[in-house]
Amino acid sequence: MNFSVIIYVIGAVLRVEGALMLLPGAVGLIYGEREAWSFFAVGAAAFLAGAVMCLGRGKRGELFAKEGFVSVALSWLFISLFGCVPFVINRDIPRFIDAFFETVSGFTTTGSSILRDVEALSHASLFWRSFTHWIGGMGVLVFLLMLLPFVGGAGLHLLRAESPGPQVGKAVPKLRQNAFVLYVIYTAMTVAEIAILVCGKMPLFDAVTAAFGTAGTGGFAVRNTSIASYSPFCQYTITVFMILFGMNFNAYYFILMRRVRQAARIEELRWYLGVIAAAVLAIFINTRHIFATAEQAFRSAFFHVGSVITTTGFAIRDYNDYPQFSKVILLLLMFIGACAGSTGGGIKVSRVVVMVKSAFAELLRVVHPRIVKKVRLDGKAIEHETLRSINTFLISYIAIFIVSLLIVSVDDFGMMTNFSAVAATINNIGPGFDLVGPAGNYASFSDLSKLTFCFDMLAGRLEVIPMLVLLNPVTWSRAIRLHRRSRQGK
């Protein structure tokens, strides 16, 4: 294990975070809040810590897949640790565990909250809460890749470890340019959404934070009622943007390059939109009787399907009163998640599609024992390696899910609460059902459960593997052995 390079990467990430904390500080100044200083102070501390960690720059050395996974996992842990300190210092969220939960939830674009009264928070804290979504959505390290010149495959290892999806590839030959293109698209779409929301007569502060929440598919809102108090126009706008941010960003790149056909050929997109359409229709029919008008029923179905499948987690009403059928559909959508290469979480549409297809291929093998059947996506055969990694992902995912469910059930809440809480955190959605529904929050869980949720959120955002690499003794064994040997030598 090459520690110096890992420390260097973490240091660089912290410096970026320190710089980004100036923004909530500035917002605090605008509103004349004294909470602003907590952000300036912590930002300076993070920047200094990062600068110190980057001192050993000379012996940076090689970065391989293992170091890539470890540094990504540790970076996310560190930015969450630093990110939660302002909340504690400025007494907006006095308990450290709660603040940490809230920050992890922010960076992982989950949107689960332990706050009972969001509106009591200072503007600076609210802004920072939403801004963490925006930072976490496209990824801190992808941002870093844009700034730092990594040699050779080093950058790709970081990109692979951080970006969601079974096959992480580049759209352009140069990694740096790739990261740049992603952030340009990301920023442009965010700005577009802010502009449309402001046109829809939403206050600027609300528009900015809502856009951050949408862009990162996070789900923190600045009102206790989430998005419910805004106009239908704003709600439709947010729905559409949620769905747009849940799409594979390669599609936007292709469209930008005037290769619209190539974008239309992405099979995952068609499945994604198909699933959305089917779910909206089913829920609309199933819940029509609850609402006064068809438009309200449709808006609610459209909004919540978009919110849940993209793993955003905004709400325009407490959907706990939905019929069971609709609730189960939403629960299933939580697991499917958004497209690979988007800012959303969950298992990802492409993985689900590949798994369903390979299940059919296996069924065919029963009829024709010696059949050769390649599973295809986008008209190309899926490599065996990819299939294997999808299987590994799924099994680790289920294992983490089960263990988490077991730990959380110690708190003795109802099954729907526990199950949906774990599902909502590991899939980075935010609200679940019953106690953790849109109107509820995660405050009543024990600290152990909250830490479990934090782990689930990080595991979900980084797609399980980096967190497991971090926990696997094999990763560290050689480093420990080397350490021991050097001590014996002395």
Partner 1 sequence: MNIIIIGAGKTGATLAEDLCGEGHNVTVLDTDQERLSQIGDEYDVLCMVGDGLNNADLSEAGIEDADVFIAVTGSDEQNLLSCLFAGKNPRCATIARVRNPMFLKENAFIRDRIGLSMIINPEYAAASEIARLLRFPSAIEINTFAKGRLEQLTFRIPEGSVLDGKNLTYVRTKIEKNLLVCSVERGGEFFIPSGHFELRTGDKVSIVIEPRVAQRFFRHIGIDTHKVPTAMIVGGGMMTHYLAEQLLNHGVGVKIIESDRARCEELSEKFPSAIVINGDATDKKLLLEEGVKETGAFVAISGIDEENILLSLFVKEVSGAKTVTKVNRIAFDSVIAKLDLDSVVYPRSITAEYILQFVRAKQNAVGSNVENLYKLIEDKVEALEFKIREDAPLIGVPLSEMKLKDNVLICGISRARRIIIPGGGDTIRAGDSVIVVTSHKHLNDVSDILA
Contact positions vs partner 1 (CB under 8 A)? 364, 368-374, 376, 380-381
Cα 179–chain centre separation: 17
Q: Where are the alpha helices (H) located in 90-122, listed in sequence order? A: 96-107
Looking at the Cβ atoms of 60 and 373, the one nearer to partner 1 is 373
Asked whether 338 and 428 are in contact (CB, 8 A), the reply is no
Looking at the Cβ atoms of 223 and 373, the one nearer to partner 1 is 373
SS3 213: helix
SS3 380: strand
Which of 60, 138, 74, 169 lies closest to 466 in space, CA to CA?
74
CB of 380 to partner 1, least distance (A): 7
Looking at the Cβ atoms of 59 and 380, the one nearer to partner 1 is 380
Asked whether 146 and 471 are in contact (CB, 8 A), the reply is no
Which of 73, 137, 160, 13 lies closest to 469 in space, CA to CA?
73
Sorted by sequence, the CB contacts under 8 Å of residue 385 that are 6+ apart come out as none
Instruction: Please return the burial class of 171, using the count of CB atoms within 10 Å of its CB with bins 0-12, 13-18 and 19+.
Output: middle
Q: CA separation (Å) from 438 to 104, 144, 149, 478?
A: 19, 34, 43, 46
CB of 171 to partner 1, least distance (A): 23
CB of 354 to partner 1, least distance (A): 13
Q: What angle do CA 181, 185, 191 make, to 5 degrees?
A: 145
Looking at the Cβ atoms of 70 and 375, the one nearer to partner 1 is 375
Looking at the Cβ atoms of 309 and 377, the one nearer to partner 1 is 377
Asked whether 330 and 304 are in contact (CB, 8 A), the reply is yes
Looking at the Cβ atoms of 369 and 489, the one nearer to partner 1 is 369
d(CA 397, CA 164): 14
CB of 367 to partner 1, least distance (A): 9
Looking at the Cβ atoms of 364 and 399, the one nearer to partner 1 is 364
CB of 278 to partner 1, least distance (A): 23
In Å, the largest CA–CA distance within the chain is 80
CB of 476 to partner 1, least distance (A): 39
CB of 254 to partner 1, least distance (A): 23
